């Protein structure tokens, strides 16, 4: 009896790309490497910028890792992992986005050699996870509390140095002596919870960077205003501030309802009723004693002129975030109705004024009793320049915020990576088997940070790395890193090149997890694009 041929079973739709095995793993690593190489040159004080033009023609110039990767629109599913860890680093720590991508790429490159030699990915994953845990333990062991750093007079000086380090690789690094104290002062204005929503950056094109100002309170651009606005006073001392989420505008009757009438006098009665309703609202607002009235909804020409006649200031269509910050700063509560208004819902500030900033007019609320918010009015030339300056300030603000919340730092300039590399090499000597080789490979991969810092500055990275290895082998060499000014090495802790401990902990943890995720993928299934009327039924069904 002849053997019956087994029927072919089709599980996947025709045209599905089903790639698996070692080749697919190496392809995924190569895709991630391509992403890493794109932003490697942006690392450090001498890093280069990237110019990215979108489909709509908008041009962005930046050296912020997370920003560049988000604009590149990476479509490879494995390479998206690298983009995601840069975004997570930006969200959690605010800085170190390029570093985390470089570390992940270096770990994958280290693993690639052993994958090609036939080592099982799970062996590599276990070793790398162990190495990552050892690195975190070592960082926590050697990190320095900001209050214990020699030569520091107060915590504010230390925070300014942290902010300066964050700006060193950014577009505004030449102005870091101007911006670092401003950033620290802005962050220290916030509540204990350091809510970043209470710190705004407003961009005004024109002028120099040094024309930027810090407003200890709230500042926002003058809103759209109706006739009568210019007759209102623009400066008040200790005014009552009323915040509304109420529309103070007459609507055309045809927008509200359709009413059939037989007599013209009936129409006039309807119009008069509308006027009485809004007039009663305006009288109730004036009765509170408020001098400054802000509303999230429109304040029309009738209300604007009404307030102008009584020497009051009003602004409608105020952005929700700005209205919330005014509420937090002045102590005013946002009202959704004008019925039953009392003076206790009002807020106050020492001074309200409308100020000309460049070509724009801004409303400033300063001297607020509940001063838990701040605004940086950022000046600059071209739009791309001022946008990148804003991203630079955001990174510095996040670094200072983290330094306040977790007041411990490590030395930058590749010093902490070199120390971790030395530590892992010593640990590797105490273990046996494949783990020893893999942890050594992990240790070597950590050197990518000082190497790239040297390359980006135009120095001989081999020479500098040899000096760093030699110095870190000594007892007093723990904080030696790359000196991008002289092309040599120096004690970066004493040079005030500091980074919050959390940034490094998160960067190494995220890079290891991303590497292990890529290594754990042995098959990629890519479905073909669906067609209209496509039939997916299996044969025989």
Give pLDDT tens digits for 192-233.
777 778 888 999 888 888 888 898 889 999 888 887 888 888
Q: Are 67 and 391 in contact (CB under 8 A)?
A: yes
30 to 24, 38, 415, 446, 509: CA distances (angstroms) = 10, 13, 28, 19, 21
Question: Poorest-confidence range of 314-328, 432-446, 525-539?
Answer: 525-539
| Per-residue confidence band for 61, with pLDDT thresholds at 50, 70 and 90 | confident
Q: What is the pLDDT of residue 426?
A: 92
Report the C-alpha gap between 133 and 435 in whole angstroms. 14
Comma-separated ranges of CATH 1.10.560.10 domains in the chain: 17-146+411-526
Which phi and psi (to 5°) does residue 200 adopt? -110, 150
| Per-residue confidence band for 14, with pLDDT thresholds at 50, 70 and 90 | low
Mean pLDDT of the chain: 83
Report the C-alpha gap between 250 and 227 in whole angstroms. 14
| pLDDT at residue 540 greater than cutoff 50 | no
Q: What is the pLDDT of residue 54?
A: 82
Per-residue pLDDT tens over the stretch 450-461? 999 999 888 888
CATH number of 217-254+261-370: 3.50.7.10
Per-residue pLDDT tens over the stretch 260-298? 777 777 777 777 777 888 888 888 888 888 999 999 998
| Per-residue confidence band for 389, with pLDDT thresholds at 50, 70 and 90 | confident
Mean pLDDT of 379-407: 83
Report the C-alpha gap between 108 and 90 in whole angstroms. 21
Q: From the centroid of its chain, how far is CA 272?
A: 52
Q: What is the pLDDT of residue 150?
A: 43
Q: What is the pLDDT of residue 68?
A: 86
Q: What is the pLDDT of residue 199?
A: 87
| pLDDT at residue 533 greater than cutoff 70 | no
| pLDDT at residue 541 greater than cutoff 50 | no
Tokens read off for 373 = 């918010």
| pLDDT at residue 102 greater than cutoff 90 | yes
DSSP of 136-153: HHHHHHH-EEGGG-TT--
| Per-residue confidence band for 132, with pLDDT thresholds at 50, 70 and 90 | very high
Q: What is the pLDDT of residue 539?
A: 45
324 to 198, 218, 245, 321, 454: CA distances (angstroms) = 8, 10, 11, 5, 46
Q: What is the pLDDT of residue 20?
A: 59
| pLDDT at residue 254 greater than cutoff 80 | no
CATH of 17-146+411-526, picked from 3.20.20.10, 1.10.10.10, 1.10.560.10, 3.10.20.600, is: 1.10.560.10
Report the C-alpha gap between 259 and 213 in whole angstroms. 55
pTM for the full model?
A: 0.75
Which phi and psi (to 5°) does residue 525 adopt? -110, 120
Stronger pLDDT, 256 or 324, i.e. the higher one: 324
Per-residue pLDDT tens over the stretch 487-504? 889 888 888 788 888 889
Report the share of the chain in percent with pLDDT over 90: 22
Mean pLDDT of 352-372: 86
Q: What is the pLDDT of residue 251?
A: 65
Q: What is the pLDDT of residue 171?
A: 76
| pLDDT at residue 256 greater than cutoff 70 | no
Q: From the centroid of its chain, how far is CA 499?
A: 17
């Amino acid at each position: 009896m002849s053997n019956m041929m087994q029927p072919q079973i089709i599980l996947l739709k025709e045209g599905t790309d089903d790639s698996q095995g070692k080749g697919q793993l190496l392809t995924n690593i190569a895709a991630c490497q391509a992403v890493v190489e794109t932003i490697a040159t942006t690392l450090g004080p001498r890093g280069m910028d990237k110019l990215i033009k979108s489909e709509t023609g908008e041009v962005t110039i930046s050296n912020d890792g997370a920003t560049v990767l988000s604009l590149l629109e990476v479509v490879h599913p494995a390479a998206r992992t690298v983009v995601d860890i840069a975004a997570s680093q930006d969200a959690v720590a605010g800085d170190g986005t390029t570093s985390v991508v470089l570390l992940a790429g270096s770990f994958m490159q280290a693993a690639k050699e052993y994958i090609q030699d036939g080592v099982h990915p799970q062996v590599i994953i276990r070793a790398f996870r162990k190495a990552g845990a050892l690195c975190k333990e070592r960082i926590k062991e050697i990190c320095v509390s900001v209050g214990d750093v020699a030569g520091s007079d107060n915590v504010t000086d230390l925070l300014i140095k942290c902010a300066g380090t964050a700006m060193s690789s950014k577009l505004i690094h030449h102005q870091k002596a101007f911006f670092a104290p401003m950033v620290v002062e802005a962050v220290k204005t916030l509540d204990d919870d350091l809510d970043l929503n209470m710190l705004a950056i407003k961009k005004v094109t024109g002028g120099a960077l040094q024309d930027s100002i810090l407003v200890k309170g709230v500042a926002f651009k003058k809103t759209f205003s109706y006739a009568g606005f210019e007759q209102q006073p623009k400066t008040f001392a200790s005014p009552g501030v009323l915040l509304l989420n109420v529309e103070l505008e007459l609507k055309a009757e045809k927008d509200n309802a359709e009413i059939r009438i037989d007599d013209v006098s009936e129409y006039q009665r309807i119009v008069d009723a509308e006027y009485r309703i809004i007039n009663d609202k305006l009288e109730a607002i004036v009765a509170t004693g408020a001098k400054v009235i802000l509303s999230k909804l429109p304040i029309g020409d009738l209300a604007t002129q009404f307030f102008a006649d009584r020497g009051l200031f009003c602004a409608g269509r105020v952005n929700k975030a700005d209205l919330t910050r005014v509420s937090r700063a002045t102590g005013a509560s946002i009202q959704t109705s004008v019925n039953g208004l009392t003076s206790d819902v009002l807020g106050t500030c020492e001074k309200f004024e409308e100020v000309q900033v460049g070509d724009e007019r801004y409303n400033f609320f300063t001297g607020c009793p509940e001063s838990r918010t701040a605004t940086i009015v950022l000046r600059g030339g071209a739009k791309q320049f001022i946008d990148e300056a804003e991203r630079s300030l955001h990174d510095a603000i996040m670094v200072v915020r983290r330094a306040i919340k977790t007041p411990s730092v490590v030395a930058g300039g590749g010093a902490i990576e070199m120390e971790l590399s030395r530590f892992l090499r010593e640990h590797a000597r105490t273990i046996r088997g494949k783990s020893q080789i893999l942890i050594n490979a992990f240790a070597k991969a950590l050197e990518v940070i000082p190497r790239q810092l040297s390359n980006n500055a135009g120095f001989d990275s081999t020479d500098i790395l040899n000096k760093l290895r030699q110095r870190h082998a000594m007892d007093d060499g723990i904080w030696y890193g790359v000196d991008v000014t002289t092309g040599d090495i120096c004690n970066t802790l004493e040079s005030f090149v500091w980074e919050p401990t959390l940034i490094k902990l998160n960067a190494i943890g995220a890079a290891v997890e991303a590497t292990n995720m890529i290594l754990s993928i042995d098959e990629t299934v890519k479905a073909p694009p669906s067609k209209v009327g496509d039939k997916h039924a299996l044969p025989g069904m």
